[in-house]
Chain A
């Protein structure tokens, strides 16, 4: 470990930049003084403090998105040395140099490293990834959830809509309207909830809509890249089974196919 970490004066970052959503991307190299325990965000902050590129020319500060700084909000996702991940959790000491930063290309680029992930939030709305309990009167307490199941569901609930799984999916791109792995797994989460399951048919119907689960081609990249270790391909296979049963019920079954 120590041997692979030579003392260094500066770190080099090559950043893919873009001035606005429609302009052409370009690369810019930066040299930043090394400090111990830096992460990609603190390196970007250093550039913001002193926006001069490696050629010594003044430039605009790099624009990126962040919020929690502890890998739970997903806002700071970008492609770091070819891997989509959270920049707040990417330690400089563990990265090969020069460090290449690119925006996640699956999403519309706002500017530099900041992307617009609204399509993911729209998908969550489409599949109704919530438990509806609002009403005009108090519905009282819901059914209890077994502790074992709660622990299992907690793992699925860790999804932070970061977009890394969509970035890695070959079927999520500008030629397809596939919603991607994350919202499919969220349907599994909310359909497993004792109260949420009262609306499970609606969510399955949404998954069977345009750009839904039918567009999955089983490349299984998603489960490899998810920073939260969510079993996405197990979720997809289980929702495959559930949507198939739902569609059989719709066609052959009775009228109680909620």
Chain B
């Protein structure tokens, strides 16, 4: 493994994008979706997650460290590529470019999101509940910021799932790769629905 360090790092990057980060993303958006059923439902679901045993360890092992690793290597990967969609405007090349753009947007979004909900609240001692999110998302700027951030993240995840399947040698034939394009499109629509629906519940009260 010593000699194949780069290979190992890249495979780890790919794996972490789905497991645990992608799984966490789905779980996070499913919990948020309880907001659509009213503030009581959301608060119950959120406090269940909040009171999970070993929450501190879980958060660092399942969320922060994997995202940090994936994000740092991700930025490096973005910087070592030279996008050429103007000359080669093929569908997959456009997805390749979008994967990089949404990676950067997602990084900015997550950094702010974690600061706003996890770091700042340490000092203000606020509890993160429905009212807390409602206060943020009823501000038009933050509503749009979150909307773009959420869609960027779900796109990056779904399209990443497509390339994950290739990277791990699961979809090899052109036909299976084509079907995976449609399947990950459905994943994108499904996960985006969860995210946007909760934003509407917090921001628009619907």
Contacts and interface: CB of A to CB of B under 8 A. Distances in A.
Interface of A: 82, 168, 170-171, 173, 175-176, 205, 208-221, 224-225, 231, 233-234, 236-238, 240-245, 247, 250-251
Interface in B60-92: 77, 79-84, 87-88, 90, 92
B93 to A, nearest CB: 5
Interface stretch (B4-12, B16-24, B105-113): B4-12
Contacts of B87: 82, 168
Given A214-B11, A221-B88, A237 B82 contact: no
B80 A176 contact: yes
Contacts of A214: 6-7, 9-11
Interface of B: 1, 3-4, 6-11, 77, 79-84, 87-88, 90, 92-93, 96, 99, 162-163, 166-174, 177
B81 A217 contact: yes
Contact of B168 (A82, A217, A219, A244): A244
A contacts with B: majority SS: helix
A245 B6 CA distance: 17
B84 A218 contact: no
Given A175-B80, A240-B166, A219 B171 contact: no
Given A208-B7, A213-B7, 12 more contacts: A171-B80, A214-B10, A217-B81, A220-B92, A221-B88, A221-B93, A234-B173, A237-B166, A237-B172, A237-B177, A242-B169, A250-B1
Nearest to B10: A214
